[in-house]
Amino acid sequence: MSAPEGGEATTEAARRRTFAIISHPDAGKTTLTEKFLLYGGALTTGAGAVKAREGRRAVTSDWMEMERQRGISITSTVLQFPYRDHVVNLLDTPGHRDFSEDTYRVLAAADAAVMVLDAAKGIEPQTLKLFEVCRERGLPLLTFINKWDRPGRDPLEVIDEVEQRIGVVPTPLTWPVGLAGDFRGVVDRRTGDYVRFTRVARGATEAPEEVLDAAGAADAEGEAWTRAADELSLLDEVGASHDDELFRAGETSPTFFGSALTNFGVRLLLDAVVDLAPSPTPRLDEAGKERPLDAPFSGLVFKVQSNMDRAHRDRIAYLRVCSGRFERGMVVTHARTHKPFATKYAHSVFGQERETVEVAWPGDVVGLVNATEVRVGDTLYLDEHVAYPEIPSFAPEQFSVVRVRDTGKAKQFRKGVTQLDEEGVVQVLRDLDMGDQAPVLAAVGPMQFEVAVHRLETEFGAPVELSPTSYTVARVTDEASTTPLRGMRGVTVLERADGTRLALFESRFWLDRVLADQPDLTLDPLVGNAMVG
């Protein structure tokens, strides 16, 4: 199958907006996600809560049992919906720093990101790394200051913190009228209009908006308008204005104020995603060469997720279409194995729900069901060979030995551990001599261990126990260095499924001493180490 004629893929890509939402826990990311779907017409209302058409879909993005129990996102999901003659691909990300590696993988499939901040809390230290991950990828970033309907901080203080902590310059495109907790509406700095909001019961429908000019706003809001006008004058003086080139370079961030719970400001933000966020562009392959949008089909697998459908125990590989036209049933080539791969079972995804997809274009995300040989970072292509750069793993910071408590469940245990490793829930390290008997789980943060244990027990029926180790830092090593390293106190060498050998040390001090005493040993930082400190 050849590339589409007449630039069809380029034309279709121009209609796509593929972006991720990132935030710290409880900033309102899931609520904002659902309100985007409401404004996009993908959801209707029922019983005071946002529900899907005909009641088919309820909680749209947080589907894992642990997520519902804790009220935070710990997995990523994909949601597609139409808006203003565009196709919006919304990638929801985990809301905790322990899953920043999963966030990084999702961002590999996005063309932009929306950062959601709590008006009262601003940027919390525990999740600063989530935002650093976004900046590391150089993605254009829009900022949404959420919960302005509740008591919070001064708006100038919040945007100043964004610049100081993240290093991007906020350029407010809307500005709140009324202090946090007394939210009246926003000024659209692009038009000078005042958009006044009206509450609706439980935020179940779109918030009615009244547009007033400056004179009308002054009459309607009095002192609140005067305060906002003074703040807007200050923003004008310091030059905090939108520059499209700087935004796309990741140096500035168009900033919006609102309340996802009451739907205040949601439409303006969604409009900005369509108007400002870039459409898909040609991607660089592993050789640094651009793959044109109208080249034959190619795609990057950025996530693998199992058991979303508990009844069928399925496995979905999420593939971002990078070039060309995807057609269900086409036989493509798996770049890593060079084997043919059939795409008969291809779905568009909406959280946990799915429908068969027949055609997809650059920027779209396709769920390939039961793609057992596909791994995160793999490339699939048609006709012309291409392989996109691998998605790096983060350097783990915590290590625990995992053992099955019931030896009769050893088979389920091995299957579950392998599956979690392939999905990237945790990294699995095996002793060169002991194999799968007591592998070491390596993670960025402790919640990854909780998820691993929960899934092993509930999805695979393998009750396990974790035993923390004293190791705190890992380095890549090789076969020649393995024997002397394993003979040292406070050091062990384990192996990942891809054959990479990792030397684990009990402290950075001991690592530094070994590097000084035996510089001939191979002890290289892991790819991605700089991103996790």
Percent of the chain topping pLDDT 70: 87
Per-residue pLDDT at 51: 39
**Is 98 annotated to bind ligand?**
no
* pLDDT tens by residue, 28-51: 888 999 899 999 987 654 323 433
Mean pLDDT, residues 179-204 taken together = 91
Reply yes or no on whether the pLDDT at 354 is more than 90: no
Mean pLDDT, residues 124-151 taken together = 84
Mean pLDDT, residues 139-162 taken together = 95
* pLDDT tens by residue, 447-468: 889 989 999 998 899 999 999 9
**Is 27 annotated to bind ligand?**
yes
Per-residue pLDDT at 478: 96
**Is 333 annotated to bind ligand?**
no
Mean pLDDT, residues 496-508 taken together = 93
User: How far, in Å, CA of 61 to CA of 77, rounded?
Assistant: 6
Per-residue pLDDT at 313: 60
- The SS3 of residue 102 is helix
**Is 93 annotated to bind ligand?**
yes
Q: Domain spans of the chain?
A: 17-74+86-276, 283-381, 398-532
Q: In 167-265, where does DSSP find H-type helix?
A: 214-221, 223-238, 244-248
Helix, strand, coil % in the chain, rounded to nearest 5? 30, 30, 40
Per-residue pLDDT at 311: 54
Reply yes or no on whether the pLDDT at 76 is more than 60: no
**Is 51 annotated to bind ligand?**
no
* pLDDT tens by residue, 363-386: 999 999 888 889 899 999 999 999
Of 88, 39, 107, the residue nearest 348 (C-alpha): 88
Higher pLDDT, 129 or 362: 362
**Is 339 annotated to bind ligand?**
no
* pLDDT tens by residue, 154-170: 999 999 999 999 889 99
Mean pLDDT, residues 201-222 taken together = 90
Confidence of residue 528 (pLDDT cuts 50, 70, 90): very low
Reply yes or no on whether the pLDDT at 70 is more than 50: no
**Is 278 annotated to bind ligand?**
no
Mean pLDDT of the chain: 86
**Is 95 annotated to bind ligand?**
yes
Q: What topology does CATH give the domain 283-381?
A: Elongation Factor Tu (Ef-tu); domain 3 (2.40.30)
**Is 149 annotated to bind ligand?**
no
**Is 499 annotated to bind ligand?**
no
Reply yes or no on whether the pLDDT at 507 is more than 80: yes
Mean pLDDT, residues 379-403 taken together = 91
**Is 458 annotated to bind ligand?**
no
Higher pLDDT, 395 or 330: 330
Q: What topology does CATH give the domain 17-74+86-276?
A: Rossmann fold (3.40.50)
Reply yes or no on whether the pLDDT at 67 is more than 50: no
* pLDDT tens by residue, 286-312: 999 999 999 999 999 999 887 655 554
Query: What stretches of 364-483 adopt beta strand conformation (E)?
Result: 365-369, 379-381, 398-404, 427-431, 435-443, 464-468, 473-477
CB 157 within 8 A of CB 267: no
Per-residue pLDDT at 98: 67
Per-residue pLDDT at 102: 80
Confidence of residue 13 (pLDDT cuts 50, 70, 90): very high
CATH class of 398-532: alpha beta
